[in-house]
């Protein structure tokens, strides 16, 4: 899935940095970290953010990547915007925050978010430690990919790459994948 970061044109050593950001973006779309449970039959929790729920409305927000990507004297965080457009569909946007220092703190310049595509979800499941929403991402250029959006306690959103049809059909298999990926590639509100 092609990603664009318009701000990269003005950054010193932009070609190396752009490649690094694109690689980081691709990795974080594969999956992202945190913990997870293996009991697909446990009920979902409440909507207070401390336990995940299967409601699509819990995904609708502006999210910021937990980790900080450092590149020379600057640093970056990816942003994600999810907007519900139908009962089981949301529009998916990505952007980047550029910080002057190397610690992702202080003032920043935002690029985007720009629409990446639309995700149509076909099913959702939750237990007290993980909610998973299985669906299909259709990018703005028409490519398709399986996608699993997961929500962990305290509103931590992780995206897991998938295939069509899914190769991770159970909540337990998704939890196992999520548990192996660095948490800094996930998002918080």
Indicate the SS3 state at residue 29. Answer: helix
| Predicted pLDDT at 181 | 86
Q: Is the pLDDT of residue 20 over 90?
A: no
Contacts of 173 (CB under 8 A, 6+ apart): none
Kindly state the helix (H) or strand (E) to which residue 172 belongs, with its residue range.
helix 171-178
Q: Is the pLDDT of residue 7 over 50?
A: no
Task: For residue 49, name the pLDDT band (cuts at 50, 70, 90).
Answer: low
b/e code 151-174 from CB counts within 10 Å (16+ = b): bbbebbbbbbbbeeebebeebbbb
Q: What is the pTM of this model?
A: 0.74
- 10 vs 141 pLDDT, higher one: 141
Q: Is the pLDDT of residue 33 over 50?
A: no
Q: Is the pLDDT of residue 30 over 50?
A: no
């Amino acid at each position: 899935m092609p990603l664009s970061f318009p701000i990269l044109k003005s950054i010193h050593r932009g070609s190396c940095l752009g490649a690094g950001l694109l690689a980081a973006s691709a990795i974080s779309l594969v999956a992202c970290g945190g913990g997870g449970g293996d009991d697909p039959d446990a009920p979902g929790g409440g909507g207070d953010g401390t336990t995940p729920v299967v409601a699509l409305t819990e995904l609708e927000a502006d999210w910021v990547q937990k980790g900080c990507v450092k590149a020379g004297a600057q640093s970056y965080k990816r942003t994600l915007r999810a907007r519900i457009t139908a009962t089981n569909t949301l529009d998916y946007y990505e952007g980047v925050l550029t910080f002057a220092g190397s610690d992702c703190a202080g003032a920043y310049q935002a690029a985007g978010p720009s629409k990446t595509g639309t995700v149509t979800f076909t099913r959702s499941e939750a237990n007290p430690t993980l909610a998973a929403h299985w669906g299909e991402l259709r990018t703005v250029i028409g490519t398709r990919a399986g996608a699993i959006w997961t929500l962990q306690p305290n509103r931590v959103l992780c995206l897991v790459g998938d295939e069509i049809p899914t190769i991770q059909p159970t909540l337990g298999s998704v939890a196992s994948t999520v548990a192996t990926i660095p948490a800094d590639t996930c998002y918080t509100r």
